[in-house]
């Protein structure tokens, strides 16, 4: 059986993460803390064999991937299929602002209605179709190898659900931390989960308020 090991990682922190603003396709760069998280991730993965690096083309994901790839003189290939969910008019808003401006839409989002799409954005059904197809296509290029995918919280959420066979509307009980290491396997039969939300590299005291 042709199995590909996947290191799936969410990008480092951004200022909009700190402000709890919805980013979606808006291209927000890493902040100082996010860049430090990426550096610590690179150190933690220095002995991991990684055949190829793939990232969303949004700078927060690409910069995170590049921090790891440059430690071994490898390049990062970008793919728009790894982008965060497009949130349309929701982008740039906080949750409180959403509830105040568009309460019915905010409720549909909170309830994870699968076919609900914010004006100008994607539904969860569209996101799942895009993400799963992209990851399957990339993983199928590397049987017997390990690859790294750097993407976004919504993308990682879809991958967890696909690997554990959970429905889109199932309540989330798993972490989607910035630069956490998540391990998956892909075969022609689909994705399976190996390990999730490893943040040991962030617990060494190197991330204090001076890096924020």
Which residues participate in catalysis according to the annotation? 11, 84
Alpha helix stretches (DSSP H) within 21-152: 32-44, 59-69, 95-101, 103-110, 124-139
Token look-up 């956490």 returns 180
Length of the chain as a residue count? 212
Phi and psi (nearest 5°) for 21?
-95, 145
* C-alpha to C-alpha distance for 20 and 14, rounded to whole angstroms: 10
CA distances from 10 to 17, 96, 101, 145 (A): 12, 24, 29, 21
* C-alpha to C-alpha distance for 95 and 98, rounded to whole angstroms: 5
Q: Other CB atoms closer than 10 Å to residue 31's CB: what's the count?
A: 19
* C-alpha to C-alpha distance for 152 and 199, rounded to whole angstroms: 16
3 state DSSP class of 2: coil
Strand 4-10 to strand 181-187: parallel, antiparallel, or no bridges (unpaired)? antiparallel
């Amino acid at each position: 059986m042709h199995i590909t090991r996947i290191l799936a990682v969410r990008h480092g922190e951004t200022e909009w993460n700190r402000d709890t603003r919805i980013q979606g396709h808006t291209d927000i760069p890493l902040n100082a803390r996010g860049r430090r998280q990426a550096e610590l991730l690179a150190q933690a993965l220095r002995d991991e064999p990684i055949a190829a690096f793939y990232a969303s083309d949004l700078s927060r994901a690409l910069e995170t991937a590049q921090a790891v790839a440059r430690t071994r003189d490898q390049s990062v290939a970008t793919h728009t299929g790894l982008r965060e969910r497009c949130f349309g008019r929701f982008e740039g808003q906080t949750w409180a602002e959403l509830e105040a401006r568009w309460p019915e839409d905010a409720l549909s989002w909170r309830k994870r209605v699968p076919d609900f799409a914010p004006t100008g954005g994607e539904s969860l059904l569209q996101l799942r179709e895009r993400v799963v197809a992209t990851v399957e296509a990339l993983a199928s290029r590397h049987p017997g190898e390990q690859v790294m995918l750097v993407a976004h919280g919504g993308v990682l959420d879809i991958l967890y659900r696909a690997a554990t066979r959970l429905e889109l509307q199932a309540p989330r009980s798993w972490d989607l931390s910035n630069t956490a290491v998540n391990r998956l396997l892909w075969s022609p039969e689909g994705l399976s989960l190996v390990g999730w939300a490893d943040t040991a590299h962030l617990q060494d005291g190197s991330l204090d308020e001076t890096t924020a």
